Structure 1
Amino acid sequence: MTTRALAAFAAGASYDGLPPEVVAKAGALVLDCVGAAIGGAAVPEVVALTGLVRSRGGVPEATAVGARPGFAAPLADAAYAMGAAADVLEHQDGYRFGGFHPSHAIPAVLAVAEHVDADVPDLLTAVVVAYEVANRIARAAHPQATKAGWFPTAASFGAAAGCARLLGLSEDGIADAIGATAFFAPAILIESIFAAPGAKPAFAGQIARAGVEGALTATTGLTGWREVVEHPRGLVSVLGGDGDTAHGLGSEWTILDVHQKWFAGCRHTHGAAQATAELALEHDLKPSEVSTVDVEAYDVALLLVDRPVGADPSTVACTLSLPFAVGAALADRYVGGRQYATDRRTNPEVLRVAGLVGLRRADDLEALYPEYTATRVTLTTTDGRTLTRTVDTPAGDSRAPMDRDRLLAKFGAYADPVVGAENAARVAEALLGPSGSVRDLIALVTVFQEAQA
């Protein structure tokens, strides 16, 4: 379990040495993140955060992907802006064995890749490095960190490794980048996220920013703490974890276990959302026909997403609320970015059902966590029927993955209205190909936005 081993892996990774399925997964994850950023850019909380970045100006080194209209900013600022946009709708990926979002690293890696004029295969190699480093750190601290009240910032350290690689640093330099990130990574109280304040998306932006700053610091020749991961008072230990973070590097590909979200919202709401949507479709239920909603889940779900919403909830609050997810899924048979628009998140029938939800622990479901985020929903109808559905592997899980059509549909729902269907298709082709330059790819998702301004 050493920082040095993680750096050695990052320095030695090569595109030609990556299994095809790993490359394909990396492309799909970047596509997902770009789509989420495009969709999130119009959310008021993100408009406020990216507006601050835009107002500061600075050297235009990389594009703030997803910002409307598009603009360029210093590397760390560009990563921050995209990070906030990609997080706000909670439609990004996640790693169930780490309790975090490894895609928080992508805005950092993408900004640096654009800046150095990397090609898409170089980008994807750096993304794989970032995920493998981040996932191992987070896995070693999960679920102890979450239960102690911390959100793992492992993506900052993975981002630093990926960015340092793109910047041409040696193994020593990458170790310094990972170690220097300790001085930039935020300390995130998980309750501060799930309390759902308007500033919440800033935490994801800051995680991305920290990775860029750590890598840039190493380029100056300054050293980082090369025991940041494994020291007895280092990152993993302080978060309550243990274990060998370097186990299986280069042979076990944790990126393949990363889930993508078919439903938008915190992962711990997905089982309930899917079970409710399936029951609504199967029985042609209307919200007015449901009188009670009983949801059974595992301890972490109760800790994080048992969040009632009021009469005028914010987008951030709704994305972190299991009761809201149930109400939206019953009304619309799906929970995506559209369900967080003002007219849907304040819809009386959605909010009425949300108010009916009772969430409780089930011993059999708790025993399955974290291998499964299993959730059981029981709906009682006004005519006396009792309808139950259990979902243990929500759509998008690595064991129930989204196929290519669903991946493209999710991306297109966000990208097509903003950058045009033709540009969106070309972005998907470049990332899933993979081929072309990162700068050309970025231009495809920003030119139309600038024309719209």
Structure 2
Amino acid sequence: MKTVTQSLATLLARPIGQEDRARAALLLLDWTGCAVAGRSEPAGQKIAAAFPDEIGRCTRIGANPASPQMAALHNGCLGNVLEMDDVDKRAVLHAAPTVIPAALAMAEHVGASMDDCLDAIVVGYEAAIRIGRAVGPGHYAFWHNTATCGPFGAAASACYLLKGSDLVSALGLAGTQSAGLWQTRHETDSMAKQLHAGHAAQVGVQSALLSAQGFQGPRTILEGEQGFFAALCPGADPKDVMFAHEGWLLHETSLKPYPACRHAHPAIDAALKADDDGGEVLLRTYADAIKFCDRPEPSSVIEAKFSLQQSVAVALTGRSPTLNDFEPDAIASHAATRTRVRVEESRNFNEAYPAHYGASIEIGGQVWIATDALGDPEVPMRYDQIRQKAFGLMRHGGMDDPDPLIDAALDRILATYCARLP
């Protein structure tokens, strides 16, 4: 009888089609914009400066090439800096900054084709998301799912490209290194959240490399009596959840149009619909959004990005938030509006979460509702919005002409798929 870990490995060996690769290419484009922009931020600059003497042949954005492990660490950190990377709402994790850097580094390391690299991204997303959906709220209460489930996805992605690697063993090695606590959210100067993503990508790559040498990991890391689910996931029922879905799950991930925590996005969407009369603003949403983003007086850029009040204040001006709307000057300019925003937990939105991220805005007795956030599969971003997001992020990161890079990403693989986007 197969173990849960072995069953996952079998699931990851399913055929991959052109539409799956096309979705992977679109997610690759989205991540690239995030990572290029992240390089120009203080956290990105510190990441680049931390390991200047690394030598290798794998690309690091804004730094000299390095080993596959260090390239994965570097690029993985960059992709999460601006909080604009994609998310799976049921797993509550960002697969891109863990899986894509691992796939790119290993593809360069072994000289893989672009199609193989895209296939590796498909497989990596699948592993991270399936495990992420199974961990349950008891895990998410303390552990950052991107950090803890990301190593499994990165290992699966890297193993797909590395001949001779043992996926079940690599998953074991990745799982035993799983880490990343939410305490980072309580300290405004902490940059550990970015390290979470980079570390997960690095762990995946090195686990694949070790497994290819016969370095054995625990083969029951997920379901063992002292394994991942037993130790870190109180109340989880992993077997039913992990294998409940038949399709490739990267098609169900959400893209983020706004540079704020995803939990703030439905509040933004509801506020963009509202007519602001200058009175009290009652924001109703689900408990996790309040837990992570109830910050009426943000004092830094990262706090502003995790502030429901700042996000709503910007959206009430009638325009979508941009990166500049979370800078210190913008934080100060929206102070008066933030004081008008009262936050309240909603049973209806709690019951719908995490399948649906919802919020409502009430002003003067009128109510505007966002049942799902823009960028979710239920409310997908248009193709031109996705391209414009990538363009804007690359320009923010210092690229004079991002169009050639974007065109290279959106080659023949994407033609059919993008034609069907709204």
Same fold, judged at TM 0.5 (above): yes
Which of 190, 193, 201 is 2:185 aligned to?
A: 193
What SS class does the counterpart of residue 270 from structure 2 fall into? Answer: helix
Match of 2:206 in 1: 213
Judging changes above 3 Å, is the alpha-carbon distance between structure 1 residues 419 and 223 closer, same or farther for their aligned structure 2 residues?
A: farther
Show CA shifts across 1:104-162 (max 9, x none): 32112122112222222111100111011111111111223113x22221111111011
Which of 77, 84, 88 is 1:91 aligned to?
A: 84
| Preserved CA contact (<8 Å) 2:155 2:170 | yes
Judging changes above 3 Å, is the alpha-carbon distance between structure 1 residues 272 and 431 closer, same or farther for their aligned structure 2 residues?
A: farther
How far 1:403 sits from its partner (Å)?
Answer: 2.1
Match of 2:406 in 1: 425
How far 1:354 sits from its partner (Å)?
Answer: 2.6
Match of 1:155 in 2: 150
Which residue type is aligned with residue 46 of structure 1? G
| Preserved CA contact (<8 Å) 2:374 2:381 | yes
- How far apart, CA to CA, are the structure 1 residues paired with 2:351 and 2:171? 35
| Preserved CA contact (<8 Å) 1:185 1:206 | no
- How far apart, CA to CA, are the structure 2 residues paired with 1:433 and 1:369? 32
- How far apart, CA to CA, are the structure 1 residues paired with 2:386 and 2:9? 32
Q: Number of paired residues?
A: 404
Show CA shifts across 1:193-242 (max 9, x none): 35443323222211222111211221221001111112132212322222
Which residue type is aligned with residue 285 of structure 2? A
Is 1:60 aligned with 2:46?
no
What SS class does the counterpart of residue 71 from structure 1 fall into? Answer: strand
Show CA shifts across 1:281-332 (max 9, x none): xx4x5xxx6342211111111221112334xx33222222212211232346
Is 1:129 aligned with 2:123?
yes
Match of 1:143 in 2: 137
Match of 2:7 in 1: 5
Structure 2-normalised TM-score? 0.89
| Structure 1 segment 385-400 matched on structure 2, within 5 A | 385-400=364-379
Match of 1:363 in 2: 347
Is 1:378 aligned with 2:359?
no
| Preserved CA contact (<8 Å) 1:195 1:317 | no
How far 1:185 sits from its partner (Å)?
Answer: 2.7
Match of 1:444 in 2: none
How far 1:47 sits from its partner (Å)?
Answer: 1.4
| Preserved CA contact (<8 Å) 1:113 1:166 | yes
Show CA shifts across 1:239-290 (max 9, x none): 22222265257x32222211111122111100111111232xxx4x5xxx63
Show CA shifts across 1:422-447 (max 9, x none): 3233333248548xxxxxxxxxxxxx
Root-mean-square deviation (CA, aligned residues, Å) is 2.2
- How far apart, CA to CA, are the structure 1 residues paired with 2:357 and 2:178? 28
Greater mean alpha carbon deviation, residues 35-44 or residues 335-344: 335-344
- How far apart, CA to CA, are the structure 2 residues paired with 1:357 and 1:429? 41
| Preserved CA contact (<8 Å) 1:98 1:143 | no
What SS class does the counterpart of residue 379 from structure 2 fall into? Answer: coil
Match of 1:30 in 2: 28
Structure 1-normalised TM-score? 0.83
Greater mean alpha carbon deviation, residues 23-32 or residues 416-425: 416-425
| Structure 1 segment 294-373 matched on structure 2, within 5 A | 294-310=282-298, 313-331=299-317, 333-344=319-330, 346=331, 348-373=332-357
- How far apart, CA to CA, are the structure 1 residues paired with 2:302 and 2:134? 29
Is 1:109 aligned with 2:103?
yes
Judging changes above 3 Å, is the alpha-carbon distance between structure 1 residues 195 and 423 closer, same or farther for their aligned structure 2 residues?
A: same
| Preserved CA contact (<8 Å) 1:27 1:431 | no
Judging changes above 3 Å, is the alpha-carbon distance between structure 1 residues 75 and 168 closer, same or farther for their aligned structure 2 residues?
A: same
| Preserved CA contact (<8 Å) 2:175 2:222 | no
% identical aligned pairs: 26
Show CA shifts across 1:28-57 (max 9, x none): 11111111111111111221222113x3x1
Which residue type is aligned with residue 326 of structure 1? V
Which of 71, 75, 87 is 2:68 aligned to?
A: 75
What SS class does the counterpart of residue 238 from structure 2 fall into? Answer: coil
Which residue type is aligned with residue 42 of structure 1? S
Judging changes above 3 Å, is the alpha-carbon distance between structure 1 residues 432 and 309 closer, same or farther for their aligned structure 2 residues?
A: farther
How far 1:420 sits from its partner (Å)?
Answer: 1.2
- How far apart, CA to CA, are the structure 2 residues paired with 1:405 and 1:81? 29
